[in-house]
Structure 1
Amino acid sequence: MQPRKSEFARIVSKVPEVTVYFWVIKVLATTVGETAADLLNFNLGLGLGGTTAVMFVALAVALVLQYRAPRYVPWRYWLVVVLVSIAGTLVTDNLTDGFGVPLETTTAVFAVLLAIVFVWWYRSEGTLSIHSITTRRRETFYWAAILVTFALGTAAGDLLAERLSLGYLLSAALFATVIAFIGLFYGLRVLGGVLAFWAAYVLTRPLGASLGDWVTQPSDSGGLDFGTVGPSAVCLAAVVALVCYLTASGRDRLPA
């Protein structure tokens, strides 16, 4: 008789290979997170509380589907990322708009919380590499870290663009520049792969959020005033198209 598998038994990798497709979809998903949260909140009249409740229920369902998958399945994985992006935006919006917590405070708190998740993850598993997401516990640490990065990125992006008055486009350019330097330092082997990945992952969130706000916000607030419906639809359609391509091509599969 074979021994019963525990919750932490080894499973096939549940995350994609980090390719250019990964980063393109990630930025698009973060942009959708920013624009869709505003779309549901304001345009559809759900309000901040209603939007938050709907999105967290949807996220819970998506996570169940993701956990039940025996291996990486593109549409399940990226569905969770899109919903986490929206949920992370709403967490920050609830704290700042609903409870009046300053962006400086939320940025600092989420930065500390992310550090705690990483320390706990490393102490438990001995690695933070996404190439090691092969147990249920590691997958849980992975999604916890990603949720916090989205909340942190939203707070940091709004802090620079609005509170420090840099504007959305300049903030996006600043984040993109820092990400480019991270890529350069990784290429020069100044930064290790794990540190470079997570640093870039955190920064792509405020990059996408700043781009989303720049496209959707009114011109008197420094935006292009395209509204939330069109940009949300375009970005979501691009995500769906890329996920369909990756499903068919297998270009983002990690080796077993």
Structure 2
Amino acid sequence: MNILNKEVLSKVPEVTLIFWIIKILATTLGETAGDALSMSMNLGYLYSTGILAIFFSVAVIAQIYTKQFHPIIYWITIIATTTLGTTIADFVDRSLGLGYAGGTTILLTLLLASLFTWHRTMGSIAVDTVSSPKTEVFYWVTIMFSQTLGTALGDWVAGTQGLGYLASALIFSCILCAIAFAYFKTKISRVYLFWMAFIFTRPLGAVVGDFLDKPMSEGGLGLDRYMATATLILLVLFFIFTFKQKASKKVH
């Protein structure tokens, strides 16, 4: 076999409709689970962040040390990033007093710096190149920043701008639809469009999660955070086990 044509599987799933459905569910789950830990359990943002940072570290190490793509390990790691992102964003925005605008600006800068460094070091930020430990480190650091940024951005739009959860969810849904249109109808880089979509699914999940568990007096449904989290976990598992995902592949 000509090695130049050999297909090499990456350790992340193919980007399909199911991928995006699970991603949105996972980001919504991260919001309700993060709120359950920091608010319902009264642990606060700092202690919750410390606990979730350990969970995130263990998940990333497990993901990196696996030899091939495993859906459960991958999505557990995604959930770890989005849950940790929730408490970090809340800590930065509220406890440190930077506000949503300040937190969003800092996190956007960190995200862009991560993507820039990744591209300069590895030559590509395409997800189908994520097959080595070094690339995976860049991948998960970038995702961590994107998840945290998305939380801050969702809170900023829904809260500070006074749009509410449903209107904010509609705005972010429209943005994602515009990105999908660009994917199918334009020649804009698929890599750039992927990261744009990945970033904007997070604030969508954040505002949907807040809509589910925030009190009715604040515009939410007032659902129990534990029940909402458990329901979302079951939905994620349903899609993982019902729709078998394949690893992305690249050609050398």
| TM-score band w.r.t. shorter chain | over 0.9
Q: Deviations over 1:56-113 (max 9, x none)?
A: 1111111111111001111111000001101111111111222111110111111111
> 4+ runs of 1 displaced by more than 6 Å?
none
Matches of 2:59 and 2:74 in 1, distance apart? Answer: 9
Unaligned runs of 5+ in 2: 1-7
1:108 and 2:102 matched: no
1:49 corresponds to 2:46? yes
Indicate conservation of the 8 Å contact 1:19/1:252, yes or no: no
Q: Which moved more, 1:209-218 or 1:184-193?
A: 184-193
Answer yes or no: is 1:254 the counterpart of 2:251: no
**1:241 partner SS:** helix
Any idea what SS the aligned residue of 1:30 has? helix
**Relative contact order: is structure 1 or structure 2 higher (C-alpha 8 Å, sep ≥ 6)?**
2
- 2:117 aligned with 1:155, yes or no? no
The match for 2:211 among 210, 214, 223 is 214
Residue equivalent to 1:233: 230
Deviation at 1:189, TM superposition (A): 2.2
Q: Distance in 1 between matches of 2:103 and 2:206?
A: 16
SS of the aligned residue for 1:72 comes to coil
Call closer, same or farther: CA 1:61–1:245 in 2, change over 3 Å.
same
TM-score w.r.t. the length of structure 1 is 0.91
Please state if 1:202 is matched with 2:199. yes
What per-residue deviation string (whole Å, max 9, x for no partner) do you get for residues 104-126 of structure 1? 01111111111111111111111
SS in 2 for 1:162: helix
1: distance between equivalents of 2:131 and 2:61? 17
| Aligned residue-pair number | 243
Which has a greater percent of strand? 2
The percentage of counterpart residues that share the same residue type is 33
Deviation per residue, 1:160-201 (Å, 9 max, x gap): 100010111101100000100110011012422101100000
**Which residue is 1:63 aligned to?**
60
Q: Match for residue 181 of structure 1?
A: 178
